[in-house]
Amino acid sequence: MKFVDQAKIWVRSGHGGPGCVSFRRERFVPMGGPDGGDGGRGGDVVILAGDQRETLLRYRFNQHFGAKSGGGGAGRNRTGRSAEDLILKVPAGTAVLDAETGELLRDLSSPGDSFTVCQGGRGGQGNARFASGGFRTPRFAQPGGEGEERRIILELRLLAEAALVGYPNVGKSSLISRISAATPKVADYPFTTLKPVLGTVDVDGESSFVLADLPGLVDGASEGVGLGHEFLRHVSRAGVLIHVLDPGRLDPEDPLRDREAICRELELYDPALLRKPELLAMSKMDLPGSREALAALQGRHPGVRVFPFSSFTREGLDALRYAIWEVVKAFREREVEAAAKKAAKAARLEGAGKSRKTGDAGAPQAPGPETEVP
């Protein structure tokens, strides 16, 4: 299946049905009065996050979606049929943005999350609603409310807890294929990875985390060189970045040059990415000269911890796996704490809203003209 992680679509909710102008005409009822019913409500457009679709491919080729309009009212006070909501299913992890302003409307990060992007128009009132003691024959009704329409961008951001970043052909795909069940394309030329690859990494038989292998970055990616910044949106959800270095590219005078270049590209895309925890790993430790490159890096930067590994001999894979897991565990704890604070804040706001609505509802009220007094 083709991987599609962004789509721009046009959506429109349904119009409300018009109210009806009708008068009761029945034998032996000479002045039946108005009996026009209300129109039905137009359908909403709802974005629903599921867990079955892998891409946004459907929305790449079909870009216009409209909900049905409500039915018109009828005589005998019959209300028009309300239209069903239009449900657009997207993968969990999809962000909904306004195409005009770029504003983030909703982040559907979990399966079952939903967002009503366009409200359906309300149904118009029939003429029976306008009858009164001084105006018994209203010959008009309300039209239905207009539906909403807007252009939105659906942007899939993979739900990975850790992400591999680095230059092309430094060993990222080989690494994820060794420590997970992922099967990315592996070859000895750059840009073999053309789309993000997800893999579930088992830690100890009971714990696991999701690791993402992203296409390689090069100098000038922010200007469209190589594959550009097209896939960096998938890094935004990761709790830790693993910078993979190739000992064959290492400069003895500046061993961290590649890492700093990648950080510059990340900063140009989103400065918040540099605030994420990071681990430094050096691949291909089975090749000649790799030990010397590692020693040069550690000699220049003795305070920097490096995780050397070889995907071919499996050397160092366990140490790297457990190091990633420790950072992911801390990331999960922060996420749980943040979700708990958010839920508590929402509960406080809801409670405050209810208090404002009820006011002094508990105080005795003087009976009004329509109040039933026992």
Looking at the structure, tell me whether residues 166 and 296 fall in a common domain. Answer: yes
Domain annotation covers residue 351 = no
Same domain, 112 and 232: no
Please tell me whether residues 232 and 304 are part of one structural domain.
yes
Confidence at residue 196, expressed as pLDDT on a 0 to 100 scale: 80
Q: Is 171 contained in some domain?
A: yes
Contacts of 253 (CB under 8 A, 6+ apart): none
Residue % of the chain over a pLDDT of 90: 43
**Percent of residues, the chain, with pLDDT higher than 70:** 86
**Are 117 and 177 within one domain?**
no
In this prediction, residues 102-131 reach a mean pLDDT of 92
pLDDT of the residue at 225: 63
| 259 belongs to a structural domain | yes
Per-residue model confidence (pLDDT) at position 10: 96
pLDDT at 21: 95
Which domain does 73 fall in, by range?
Answer: 6-24+31-128+138-156
CATH code of the domain containing 103: 2.70.210.12
- What integer pLDDT is reported at residue 265 of this predicted model? 85
- The set of residues, in sequence order, having a beta carbon less than 8 Å from that of 79 and lying 6+ positions away, is 37, 38, 39, 40, 73, 123
The answer to whether residues 21 and 139 touch, using CB atoms and an 8 Å cutoff, is: yes
Whether 168 and 314 map to the same domain: the answer is yes
Are residues 178 and 280 part of one domain? yes
45 found inside a domain = yes
In DSSP terms, which residues pair with 9 in a beta bridge? 152
Tell me whether residue 89 is in a domain. yes
**Is residue 298 domain-resident?**
yes
Is there a single domain that holds both residue 123 and residue 215? no
Mean pLDDT, residues 229-243 taken together: 82
SS3 sequence, the chain? CCCCCEEEEEEECCCCCCCCCCECCECCECCCCECCCCCCCCCCEEEEEECCCCCCHHHHHCCEEECCCCCCCECCCECCCCCCCEEEEEECCEEEEECCCCCEEEEECCCCCEEEEECCCCCCCCHHHHCCCCCCCCCCCCCCCCCCEEEEEEEECCCCCEEEECCCCCCHHHHHHHHCCCCCCCCCCCCCCCCCEEEEEECCCCCEEEEEECCCCCCCHHHCCCCCCCCHHHHCCCCEEEEEECHHHCECCECCHHHHHHHHHHHHHCHHHHHCCEEEEECCCCCCCHHHHHHHHHHHCCCCCEEECCCCCCCCHHHHHHHHHHHHHHHHHHHHHHHHHHHHHHHHHHHHHHHHHHCCCCCCCCCCCCCCCC
For 220-235, the pLDDT digits (tens) are 766 666 555 667 777 8
Of 85-89, 105-109, 148-152, the range with the lowest mean pLDDT is 105-109
pTM of the full structure: 0.69
Same domain, 267 and 298: yes
Residues 290-343: pLDDT tens digits? 999 999 998 888 888 999 999 999 999 999 999 999 999 998 888 888 878 877
Interval 254-298: pLDDT, tens:
889 999 988 988 888 888 888 999 999 999 999 999 999 999 998
Q: Are the beta carbons of 201 and 321 closer than 8 angstroms?
A: yes
Place 73 in a pLDDT band, splitting at 50, 70 and 90: very high
CATH code of the domain covering residue 284: 3.40.50.300
pLDDT reading at 368 higher than 80: no
In terms of domains, do 82 and 183 share one? no
* Burial of residue 137, with CB atoms counted within 10 A of its CB: 0-12 exposed, 13-18 middle, 19 or more buried: exposed
Mean predicted confidence (pLDDT) in 187-209: 76
Contact present, 242 and 165 (Cβ < 8 Å): yes
Mean pLDDT score across all residues of the chain: 84
Q: Span 120-149, mean pLDDT? A: 93
* Domains of the chain: total: 2
Q: Is residue 74 included in any domain, yes or no?
A: yes
Q: State the average pLDDT over residues 237-252.
A: 89
Same domain, residue pair 241 and 181: yes
Judgement on whether residues 168 and 282 belong to the same structural domain of the protein? yes
* 189 and 151 within one domain: no
